[in-house]
Amino acid sequence: MLPGPTNVPERVTRAMFTHIINHRSPDFVELYTEVIEKTQQVFQTKNDVVALSSSGTGAVEASVVNLIKKGDKVIIPVNGEFSSRLSQMLEWQGANVIKLETTPGTNATLEQVKEAFDNNNDVKAFYVVHNETSTGTQVKYLDKISELTSRNDSYYVVDSISLLGGVELPVDKWNIDVCMAGSQKALAAPPGISPISVSPRAKKYMIENPPPTMYFNLARYFKYYEESKHTPFTPALPLLYAFREALRMILEEGMDARIKRHKICSDALYSGLSAIGLTPFAKEEDRSITIIALNYLDGLDDNTFRNTLANKFRVLVAGGFGNLKGKVFRVGCMGEVHRYHVMRTISAIASTLDMMGYKTNTVNALKIAEEKLKNL
Ligand SMILES: Cc1ncc(COP(=O)(O)O)c(C=O)c1O
């Protein structure tokens, strides 16, 4: 139940055990084109997609180095570790970064974002971390942003690494120019493949203004794909096989059913865990579907709690980041998550709390969660 990497279905794991093929062969073309076409379906886009052999940070860095030049003005909401890292990358790139900073656990409101656009009519791009994994907050107005970016044709860039595959994110309908996901999160594949989609106008810009970098030069990937359906560099072949299998499973389930399952499991976890006396860290309207961050009860030791949960009950959850270390723990609700994971996590957390001397009403919590799961 980590916020990534998440559980990987047996079928996906098995797909990695295969011969290593020549990445300049028809076999590779078949593998890679299927990966790209299926990723486009999951992203709901006709835009170009590159499946980078890298962790999520690689895709995020690619979105920065290919689109941003020294002095460009960028707006970005900042409310935790991943949005801070992204704003730092933008600053390192020389951008003039307008940070909409809010207390961790809350998001900048749409009004604050509008105000930033009102005050800056020369914005080059709006960057946003869809789901701040460090605090369990999710931005819920991404469908409204293109009304703002369209004012002066600024670019719209979304890091949806810890959400895409688990919630609604129609890239084309919402006019998102660049969108990133991570294989190890809601897509339920092993870590190491990070897909990134690029709109035609962003692609044109990237080709005309290539960055002084080799590996993450996206124009190079577009060229290779157009000419031969290859990648410019040697891809992580076993991971691509696994990722293809994960995409097949996602599309077999159907995105609507998958989104519904994530939502129901998330509701059940929030309700059940609240019923045993835990409180979510994030403000109610900003709470993430896939990352459930909970405040520790007074005096509850982070290491003892998580070690007991892992060693006695075999349930893994994550601790907090930076100054939230020891104050919150985070439960991932992503990928394969189903009834079994929800019920087992709630009961294991309740038993661990009981063992550590906190009284919980486990039966009631499980009943509440069970009731929510009836809709599955
Ligand atoms: C929102 C977000 N962005 C970026 C990253 C970085 O991904 P990676 O650790 O795969 O490089 C993460 C990882 O958790 C994330 O949650």
The response to whether residue 4 sits with its C-beta less than 6 Å from ligand 1 reads: yes
Query: What is the band of 322 on the pLDDT scale with cuts at 50, 70, 90?
Result: confident
* DSSP H/E element including 158: strand 155-159
Work out which ligand 1 atom sits closest to the CA atom of 162. Answer: 16
Q: Is the peptide bond before 5 cis (omega within 30 degrees of 0)?
A: yes
Nearest to 125 by CA among 71, 166, 196, 200: 71
Looking at the predicted structure, is the pLDDT value of residue 320 above 90? yes
> Does residue 371 carry a pLDDT above 90?
yes
pLDDT tens profile 190-223: 999 999 999 999 999 999 999 999 999 999 999 9
For ligand 1, pick from 162, 178, 193 the residue to mutate: most ligand atoms within 8 Å of CB: 162
CA of 56 relative to ligand 1 center, distance in Å: 5
- The finding on whether 192 has its CB within 6 A of some atom of ligand 1 is no
Mean of pLDDT over the chain: 97
Tell me how far the alpha carbon of residue 270 lies from the centroid of ligand 1, in angstroms.
Answer: 23
77 backbone dihedrals φ, ψ, rounded to 5°: -70, 135
Tell me the DSSP string of 89-148.
Answer: HHHHTT-EEEEEE--TT----HHHHHHHHHH-TT--EEEEESEETTTTEE---GGGTHHH
Cα 182 to averaged position of ligand 1 atoms, centre (Å): 7
Cα-flanking dihedrals φ and ψ of residue 21, to 5°? -95, 170
Site to substitute for ligand 1 among 139, 161, 196, most atoms within 8 A of C-beta: 161
pLDDT at 323 over 90: no
Does any ligand 1 atom lie closer than 6 A to the CB of residue 61?
Answer: no
Which among 6, 52, 54, 57 is the best mutation to test ligand 1's pocket, defined by most ligand atoms within 8 Å of the CB?
57
Q: Is the CB of 60 under 6 A from ligand 1?
A: yes
Whole-number Å distance between alpha carbons of 2 and 19: 30
Cα 188 to ligand 1 centroid, rounded to whole Å: 14
Q: How far is the CA of 102 from the centre of ligand 1 (A)?
A: 20
Given a contact cutoff of 8 angstroms between Cβ atoms, the answer to whether 132 and 79 are in contact is yes
215: phi then psi, degrees, rounded to nearest 5? -65, -40
Question: 3-state DSSP call for residue 4?
Answer: coil
pLDDT of the residue at 205:
98
Residue from 76, 79, 82 to probe ligand 1 pocket by mutation (most atoms less than 8 Å from CB): 82
Which atom of ligand 1 has the smallest separation from the CA of 160? Answer: 1
Helices 56-65 and 81-92 meet at what angle, rounded to 10?
A: 40
Mean pLDDT along residues 138-143: 98
How do residues 75-128 score in pLDDT, each as one tens digit? Answer: 999 999 999 999 999 999 999 999 999 999 999 999 999 999 999 999 999 999
The Cα–Cα gap between 15 and 364 comes to 41
Q: Is the CB of 161 under 6 A from ligand 1?
A: yes
Domains of the chain: 10-253 (3.40.640.10), 255-373 (3.90.1150.10)
Q: How far is the CA of 334 from the centre of ligand 1 (A)?
A: 14
C-alpha pair distances (Å), 142 with each of 147, 171, 177? 10, 10, 12
Question: Measured from the CB, is residue 79 less than 6 Å from ligand 1?
Answer: no
The count of other CB atoms within 10 Å of the CB of residue 57 is 17
Other Cβ atoms closer than 10 A to 253: 12
Determine the distance separating the centroid of ligand 1 and the alpha carbon of 3, expressed in angstroms: 10
